[in-house]
Amino acid sequence: MTAAKSRVQNSLDLYEKAEQLIPGKTQLISRRASSFAHPISPIYADHAKGSRFVDVDGNEYIDWVNAVTAIILGHADDVVDNAVKEQIGKGSLYTLNSPLEIELAELLIDTIPSAEMVRYTKGGGESCSVAVRIARGTTGKDKILFSGYHGWHDWYQSANYLADPVTGEFPFAGIEPIGVPSALAGTAIPFIFEDLDNLKKLFEENKGEVAAIMMEPMRSERPKEGYLEAVKELCHANGALLIFDEVSSGWRISLGSAQEWLGVTPDMSVFAKAMSNGYPMGCVVGSREAMEPADRMFISSSYWSDNIGLAASVTTINELKRRNSTERFKEIGEKVRVALEDAIDSVGISAKVTGLHTMPTLVFDVPEPSMQKPIDTLFMQEMAKRGIFAPTSFKATLSHTDEDIAITADAAAESMKVLMRALEGELDTLLEAETARPPFRRLVN
């Protein structure tokens, strides 16, 4: 008997080809099939619009991942895309500089509390690397203390020659520092988020050598009261700069991003992802004191001033302002939370919705920790079958509608009914997918 064809067969066939052609199979590690419910979840998309995408097999999904938060207005937003098309007609890259560099810089300085000067990049990891270069050049020191995820570059991945202060394993679980010079060991040192004693100890052990703290100020939860203020004070007391990595936290919680919402202004900040609604763009912003010495540092790339990313960013940020994004994200996020809580109550499953409105997250109660990932994978599996692409967290765009939320909640309720059966002893029978494996462990909630 011939095996039944998968509803995502074209995705599976392409992924098999990719394995032979592309080391690692995907360009972004978070897009590997192992991050979702493989082989039930789709792997390749054909097109996307608004809150939805269609995979290469013709299946439509409501998207709650949104290019790992790079999409903020909605897929293929007409206003941004029209601005990009207009710019393409004028030229995507000039021999000379573009006045859009100045326009975007002024807009960022007007919007982000920490911004007095600006440099551009094409992605988040690159922005972090530029910020580290500037911090080292400005302070004349070499070492970086960090908490959170900051990309693939050598300065950061060298930390995997050390041990995580909590687990004793690699700071980035599952990622070995293959190809990273071992001579960099000890130049990037992880600290425990919300543990000031640990941070003080690291400053003492590396006295006079720390150029900066690089950290994600928050992700799904607000940090403890006074924590970030204390980190800033400790940083400055030791002659180091404070850098906020807002690649993930930027724009949704507030137009001025997490730093504005939390009321803590760092010396420098890095942004990418959502600032351009899907077009490659990133930036480093900071105080004049921190940034101006970069005038004498070699930090240079042809495509950092390409007009497409600049035009997309100017338009995206202006549209976020015009569409009252801060209030709208709160409204959408709270509707998602209520809808998921109603689904939980209707099914009677033991679960809760945690996190801020920018990332409502389902947490299922399990009888033992080893069941957590299989249960979460089963949820992804069942949601994918019902046309919803989501892990257990939901990251909205401004294009998500009340109808999208209602459909998602209905699918969640049906999926939770399957989870109830799994928790009663049918997990092995019901789980068709491989247990999802996050590509790395983050250090910030």
Q: How many CA atoms lie within 13 Å of 185's alpha carbon, on the beta-carbon side?
A: 11
pLDDT digit string (tens) for 238-260? 999 999 999 999 999 999 999 99
CATH number, domain of 185, equals: 3.40.640.10
pLDDT at 5 over 90: no
pLDDT value of residue 1: 41
Which of 178-187, 216-225, 252-261, 432-441 is the least confident region? 432-441
The last residue of one of the domains, among 293, 322, 351, is: 322
At which residue do the structure tokens 């425990």 appear? Answer: 192
pLDDT digit string (tens) for 348-396? 999 999 999 999 999 999 999 999 999 999 999 999 999 999 999 999 9
Q: Is residue 3 situated within a structural domain?
A: no
Q: Stretch 412-435: mean pLDDT, rounded?
A: 97
The last residue of one of the domains, among 294, 322, 350, is: 322
Q: Which of 271, 152, 165 is nearest to 216 (CA)?
A: 271
Structure tokens at 238: 């030791």
Structural domain count of the chain: 2
Q: Which of 433, 445, 435 is nearest to 40 (CA)?
A: 433
d(CA 368, CA 370): 6
| Mean pLDDT for the chain overall | 95
The last residue of one of the domains, among 322, 338, 373, is: 322
Shared domain check, 85 and 69: no
Pairs from 96-99 (Cβ < 8 Å, separation ≥ 24):
97/305, 98/305, 98/307, 98/310
Residue 95's domain comprises: 78-322
pLDDT value of residue 176: 78
Q: Are 228 and 49 in contact (CB under 8 A)?
A: no
Confidence of residue 147 (pLDDT cuts 50, 70, 90): very high
Q: How far is CA 328 from each of CA 221, 321, 323, 353, rounded to the nearest angstrom?
A: 19, 11, 8, 20
Q: Is residue 113 situated within a structural domain?
A: yes
d(CA 257, CA 395): 15
d(CA 123, CA 282): 5
pLDDT value of residue 251: 96
pLDDT digit string (tens) for 283-296? 999 999 999 999 99
Q: Are 267 and 285 in contact (CB under 8 A)?
A: no
- State percent of the chain over pLDDT 90: 91
Q: pTM here? A: 0.94
pLDDT digit string (tens) for 61-93? 999 999 999 999 999 999 999 999 999 999 999
Shared domain check, 263 and 169: yes
